[in-house]
Structure 1
Amino acid sequence: MSNVGASGRASGGELEEKIDLTPETDAKLEQSSQLAQSGQLKEALAMMAALEKRCRTGNDTANLKRVCEASLQYCKDAGDDELLVTTLQTLATRRSQKSQAIRALVQKCIPWCVKGQFEPLPVPDGHKKARDNLVEALREICDGKLFLEAERARLTRCMAMIMEQEGDIAKAADVLQEVHVETYGSLSKREKVEYILEQMRLTLAKKDYVRAAIVAGKVSRKHLQEENMEEYKVKFFTLMAELHRHEKNAFALAKDYHSIYSTPHILSDEAAWKVALQSTVVFLALSPYSNEQQDMMNRVKEDPNLEKIPSFHKTIQLLLKKEIVKYPMANQGEMESIPSFLEGGQDLASFWHESFHRRIIQHNVRIASLYYKRIHGARLAQLLGLSPDQLEREIASMVSDGTIYAKIDRPKDIVRFAAPKTPESVLSDWGADIDNLLHLVETTTHLINKENMTK
């Protein structure tokens, strides 16, 4: 009669009998260990296979885990990597295998191929194939099992690192994208963010910018503001800057660098915050005019740290004044020499240089439209230091963007910045002026009467 140690529940709702095989397991583990040490590995594994079946069918999970782990250890001690993978796959795919046993098998093998959380275990060149095969076998075992989702995520990242080390970045990115880590409940928030950032890094390295933008949308900006997420916040916006640099989106770059600048540990490092704030100012200057851009520029202007970098402070002041700015600006060379401006190659640096000139021209045209209702094109071109053709192109571009209202009369060479008014708007303006005048007369009369009464 078997000893009953505890009860499980069968699929029909009946209680399953659990057999305690501890004495038999202890004896056979000792016996099989001696066989393995004496070189009789197959005999030892055969003994363990029979015992594994008895423990599995007898619902003795504790001893089942011991038997499975011992079988793997014998293969590892013998140095037979191929048999280790075969034994692992056989035990993990047994019919009605217990989830605790599968988890024990995976956790037993992970330290043999993974260092720390996800780095591949350093091995001699001759053993790299065996390590890689073990990682792949473990990934297959974990696939589709909720109780091993965290292990699968770490093993997948390990496999991606192996492929990256071998120079196959595209394949590494594809492997890492298979895991939708944001849906995993067993991983911490930090692990999820770290994993998604790694997906972003590899997709950017692969130059798959569309996929990188999709992956970036999985990261919550709110979570990045938390105190223990500063490192990930800087890494995230550094990667976003790489994406936006490819898109040549100057305003998005300004926001990326300002987010890096506003991180507490960056603000505590003078060299780091200066680089970030300088980049913010430069890309704000390169951004197309908009209410959001002007709002951000005014907020940056109020930052006391900006006064510590005078050239960049002066740039913000010039662009916020309603005055024509001379091109090139006195400190433009310094702004165009910062690392973030030059990053991306000579072609991109040339694009930013041309954009700088266009933004100054657009600023000057916008200022002229505030002071003139109409002006001769030749005179305006002279004021802005442009050729008539260049001036016409920029005005046309700004009108198309909706930045200003303008009409050019070519035969008369007149540029009109004032929009024509409808009769209704003229009448409304006249009525408003009359109301203001009557109010002023009434107020003045009241004050005169009040003065007379006090005498």
Structure 2
Amino acid sequence: LDLALRLVRQLARIKEEQGKIKEAAEVLQGCAVETFGAMHRREKIAFILEQVRLCLDHKDFMRAQILSKKINPRTFKRAEKAAAKEGEKGKKEPEPLNADAVIQEPVEGTPELEALKVTYYEHMARYHASNNDYLEMCRCHMAVYDTPSVKAEPLRWKPLLEAATWYVLLAPSGPEQDDLVRRLHSDKSMDELAGHKALLKTFITKEIIHWSSLQATHKPQMDAAAAIFGGDAGAKRLEDLRLRIVEHNLLVVVAYYSKITLQRLPPPPPLPG
């Protein structure tokens, strides 16, 4: 089993180095590792994540989603809880196995579950970006942020919270979006990101938002978010942010007025650019 998988990985690596991403993905997809009973759980997840990555790289998003469903995110939660208990007890508890199961040790170099969790949510963020599902992109960033090793390094968690702030504000208004905005705003770590916390507060407060004022006040945050508002998707995301402001303003008007003439409504913000 180990030799066969090693050869498959090597062949896929060769194909990828040759620029044949689709062929490399097809090579890996020929192995349904989730059916290998003797294969260690971490090694299975690592292999599936590599399958997902190659599918994302050649923009086969449907296949990437199908493959990603073979991984249960609860696995990462359970591992984190077990690690927390281990820290309290001072000793490592063995992983539960079936009585008759013979589980092989993972190949040397196989990442730990915490690292696999980060990779999983990074891949899922790429997938959700393909259909502009901003709310799920925010959740993916929050899931990575909510990882012990990430929380211990400000250089890692600060960009995650900054991106999560923008993605949740880009998401259409709704109960889930509103809840996530408030959760982000109340996170203690946001105190170290004063500009982004103020941005969240702007959308929580039931007051009219003016596009020009928002751009002027939060220009440093927008300029720093080149990965979000730059590139091919940048123009659309700016337009989506403008629409979110329109939604917010309409909800504010509805909250304060039962009747209002259109002349009294603030004009919609101009198109960006």
Scaled to the shorter chain, the TM-score interval is: 0.7 to 0.9
| Distance in 2 between residues matched to 1:250 and 1:238, nearest whole Å | 14
Map 1:29-40 onto structure 2 (within 5 A). none
Is 1:341 aligned to 2:228, yes or no?
A: yes
| Distance in 2 between residues matched to 1:370 and 1:332, nearest whole Å | 29
Aligned length: 235
Letter of the aligned partner of 1:286 in structure 2? L
* Equivalent residue in structure 1 for 2:66, among 189, 214, 219: 214
Secondary structure in 2 matching 1:247: coil
* Equivalent residue in structure 2 for 1:306, among 190, 209, 220: 190
Q: Partner residue of 1:106?
A: none
Letter of the aligned partner of 2:36 in structure 1? Y
* Equivalent residue in structure 1 for 2:267, among 381, 385, 392: 385
Is 1:319 aligned to 2:203, yes or no?
A: yes
Runs (4+) off by over 6 Å: none
| Distance in 1 between residues matched to 2:154 and 2:220, nearest whole Å | 22
| Distance in 2 between residues matched to 1:254 and 1:235, nearest whole Å | 15
* Equivalent residue in structure 1 for 2:31, among 176, 179, 200: 179
Post-superposition shift, 1:335? 2.9
Letter of the aligned partner of 1:300 in structure 2? L
| Distance in 2 between residues matched to 1:267 and 1:220, nearest whole Å | 22
Query: Which digits, 9 at most, give the CA deviation of each residue in 1:185-214, with x for residues without a partner?
Result: 111011001000100111111110110111
Post-superposition shift, 1:324? 1.2
Of all paired residues, the percent bearing the same amino acid is: 30
Is 1:163 aligned to 2:15, yes or no?
A: yes
Map 1:14-413 onto structure 2 (within 5 A). 148=1, 150-225=2-77, 226-227=79-80, 228-328=112-212, 329=214, 330-342=217-229, 346-380=231-265, 384-386=266-268
User: Mind listing any 5+ residue stretches in structure 1 that lack a counterpart?
Assistant: 1-147, 391-455
| Distance in 1 between residues matched to 2:156 and 2:222, nearest whole Å | 16
User: Mind listing any 5+ residue stretches in structure 2 that lack a counterpart?
Assistant: 81-111
Contact 1:281–1:312 (CA<8 Å) still a contact in 2?
yes
Q: TM-score, normalised by structure 1?
A: 0.50
| Distance in 2 between residues matched to 1:154 and 1:196, nearest whole Å | 14
| Distance in 2 between residues matched to 1:181 and 1:366, nearest whole Å | 49
| Distance in 2 between residues matched to 1:166 and 1:152, nearest whole Å | 21
Post-superposition shift, 1:337? 2.9
Indicate the larger mover: 325-334 or 194-203. Answer: 325-334
Post-superposition shift, 1:371? 0.9
Post-superposition shift, 1:159? 1.2
Query: Aligned pair in 2 of structure 1 residues 386, 245: CA closer, same or farther (>3 Å)?
Result: same
Alpha-carbon RMSD across the aligned residues, in angstroms, is 1.6
Structure 1 or 2: larger strand share? 1
Secondary structure in 2 matching 1:218: coil
- Which one has more relative contact order, counting CA pairs under 8 Å at least 6 apart? 2
Query: Aligned pair in 2 of structure 1 residues 254, 340: CA closer, same or farther (>3 Å)?
Result: farther
Letter of the aligned partner of 1:386 in structure 2? P
Indicate the larger mover: 355-364 or 152-161. Answer: 152-161
Contact 1:200–1:216 (CA<8 Å) still a contact in 2?
yes
Structure (1 or 2) with the larger CA radius of gyration: 1
Query: Which digits, 9 at most, give the CA deviation of each residue in 1:281-331, with x for residues without a partner?
Result: 110110101111111111111111101111100011111111112213111
| Distance in 1 between residues matched to 2:200 and 2:222, nearest whole Å | 12
Indicate the larger mover: 289-298 or 222-231. Answer: 222-231
| Distance in 2 between residues matched to 1:185 and 1:155, nearest whole Å | 19
| Distance in 1 between residues matched to 2:178 and 2:163, nearest whole Å | 17
| Distance in 2 between residues matched to 1:161 and 1:339, nearest whole Å | 31
| Distance in 2 between residues matched to 1:305 and 1:326, nearest whole Å | 27
